[in-house]
Amino acid sequence: MALGRCPRVVGIAPDKGRPNRRGHTMTSPHWIQTEYEQAGWNAGPRTSGCLRALGVPADVLYGRAVEYCAFGVARIETYRSGFYEPSEGGQIAIIQPCASCREPYNPEVIDLCAWFPSNPNKWWMRTGCGPVLDLDAVEHAAFFDKPLTIHRSPRDYLRSGCVGTVILRDSAFWLGGVRRFLVPDNETASRIAKSFRSEMPEIRVRVEESQDVA
């Protein structure tokens, strides 16, 4: 499924920072924000057509679902470690931000995830600093004691109209305070349950998006 032409833009080199617990360099806000904005500019009508064919609704495609750019495109190279880098000769991938948006159209992006339309259930991270896709959804569920909807993949998050979140890497810390979850399958339910060692939350499996590989 063609995404159209993506400008061959090399990713901006990160500022040197302190390594995190996994030994990867922590990104600077300016660097990750710039890559996010570039990916948004790269997206065009053919990108929207591709995502529409994958079931993404018009409200997401045309910026009405959330108050920031929910997706973009970039040429990337992927690694077995689960990370990716922008690459002039790489494949075109969908880019989504791990963000919090306290002010309209001014998101704080802490990480990016990338996936290919040919295999939307597998993704790669830019830095590994982003544990979930939508940070505000986790905070809202914890504060108002609402069920937090968990999606199987970043593609399914877009298909939902950007409601809920996606667990990009296991971390109970980022789910702390959330007491109720709506999950897509038993595997996700088991992952969440194992991350809570005390005060087991309420976890319900719902009938969700299909597991097809587009």
State the maximum Cα–Cα separation within the chain, in Å, rounded to a whole number: 50
Phi (first) and psi of residue 96, to 5 degrees: -130, 145
Alpha-carbon gap, residue 70 to 40, rounded angstroms:
8
Report helix, strand or coil for 89.
Answer: coil
Token reading at 49: 């057509």
Alpha-carbon gap, residue 133 to 164, rounded angstroms:
9
Token reading at 166: 């996606």
Q: Is 74 exposed, middle or buried (0-12, 13-18, 19+ CB in 10 A)?
A: buried
Q: How far apart are the first and last CA of the chain?
A: 9
Query: Among 72-81, 152-161, 162-171, 178-187, where is mean pLDDT lowest?
Result: 162-171
> Looking at the chain, how many residues does it have?
214
Phi (first) and psi of residue 212, to 5 degrees: -65, 150
Alpha-carbon gap, residue 133 to 49, rounded angstroms:
23
Phi (first) and psi of residue 30, to 5 degrees: -65, -45
CA dihedral 205→164→110→93, nearest 10 degrees, is 80
pLDDT beyond 50 at 191: yes
> Average pLDDT in the 92-109 region?
88
pLDDT beyond 60 at 28: no
pLDDT beyond 60 at 29: no
Query: Among 49-63, 66-80, 185-199, where is mean pLDDT lowest?
Result: 185-199
Q: Tokens 């302190």 identify what position?
A: 18
Q: How confident is the model at residue 14, as a pLDDT?
A: 38
> Average pLDDT in the 134-163 region?
94
- 213 CB neighbour count, 10 Å cutoff: 10
> Average pLDDT in the 148-169 region?
94
> What ranges make up the beta strands (E) of the chain?
72-78, 84-86, 91-100, 108-116, 119-125, 148-151, 165-166, 180-183, 202-205
| pLDDT digits 0-9 by tens, 60-100 | 998 888 888 999 999 999 999 999 999 999 999 999 999 88
| pLDDT digits 0-9 by tens, 152-161 | 999 999 999 9
Alpha-carbon gap, residue 57 to 190, rounded angstroms:
30
Report yes or no: 115 and 155 within 8 Å, Cβ to Cβ: yes
